[in-house]
Amino acid sequence: MANLRSLGEVFNITPKVFEAGAKQYSQLTDRLEITYDYDLEKYSSFIEETEILVGWEFPRYEIKKVAPKLRWIHLMGSGLDQCLPLDWLPENVSLTTSAGAHAVKAGEFMATALMMLNNHVLQFITNQNQQRFQSIYSSPIGGKTVVLIGAGGIGGAAADRCQALGMHVIGVRPSDKCHASIDETFGVEHLNDVLPRGDFVLISAPLTRDARGMFGSEEFSNMKQGAGLVNFGRHSIVDEDALIDALETGRLGGAIMDVENPDQVAWNPRLWATPNLLIIPHCVTNDPPNFPKHIVEVFFRNLDGYLRDETMATQVGREREY
């Protein structure tokens, strides 16, 4: 377990956390011999004999040389863009993520975000900052349409919440795999065909080579006038200048955008002054008291497949990058 002290105990796998998350998988725990590490202090001592590595970050390009017995890497986070491209990953090593560990909290917040947009909360905040008192009316969210881009663990949780709100959910994803809470499913190539139907667009797609910058001026121009956007994928999926233009011209009624640490990613300073935009630090999908336990649960679901020599629940496809 390669933990990082900088994240704090609430995001790391301690023996106590592991024991709590492993209770329902007691038949599998006997198959494991676990070493707990922080900041890679024990890494060089154990990696040569390690078969399964669980962690946040590690020296990726050394893996082929220093870990001859390694067969599986499980990432503690649900995203893996920090690991791309996957040219460092040995052919005989599987990679999985903790996709789904955020699902309950993420679904709850994305329902909140849609309700905020539907009730013009962002416009009220903008008006208040501009000392303008203006009545803006809205109808209930039930019966309205959301275009959901990405329907994995987090997107699926959002679809469940949208369905509970009485919304019509159009899913856009690379595969034709169906989801119980999605009313219609389309391939990514049909994105611009379905955008005009959406009162809201919700992005929860992973950041891959194909997804980077996928939502730009053309996509905004195809959205319904006054529609709302929620981006809970990596913010590089959206062209920020195109987003700002759409908000400033009123093409978009409002946008809520989850952003990674702006000190570590490309950042557009125009965002701070954009009207009807809410910038959320990348924290609202985390549930610190329970998140590490959920990571362990995802790990064990994958371990069951690993021991059966089957495809694991959250196994990453090398070509698709998620």
Q: How confident is the model at residue 266 (pLDDT cuts 50, 70, 90)?
A: low
How far is it, in rounded angstroms, from Cα 185 to Cα 183? 7
Average pLDDT value for residue range 266-287: 84
Q: Considering the chain, what is the average pLDDT of its residues?
A: 91
pLDDT at 3: 92
Most confident stretch, 18-32, 43-57, 176-190: 43-57
Indicate whether 49 pLDDT > 90: yes
pLDDT tens digits for range 65-88: 999 999 999 999 888 888 989 999
ω before 15 within 30° of 0 (cis)?
A: no
Domains of the chain in sequence order: 2-101+287-307 (3.40.50), 103-281 (3.40.50.720)
| Percent of residues, the chain, with pLDDT higher than 70 | 98
pLDDT higher than threshold 70 for residue 204: yes
Average pLDDT over residues 272-278: 92
pLDDT band at 262 (very low <50, low <70, confident <90, very high): low
List pLDDT tens digits, range 17-26: 898 888 888 8
- Alpha carbons within 13 angstroms on the beta-carbon side of residue 190 total 15
pLDDT, position 290? 83
User: Is a pLDDT exceeding 90 seen at residue 242?
Assistant: yes
39, 59 Cβ separation under 8 angstroms:
no
Angle, CA of 97, 115 and 195, to the nearest 5°: 70
pTM, whole model, 2 decimals? 0.87
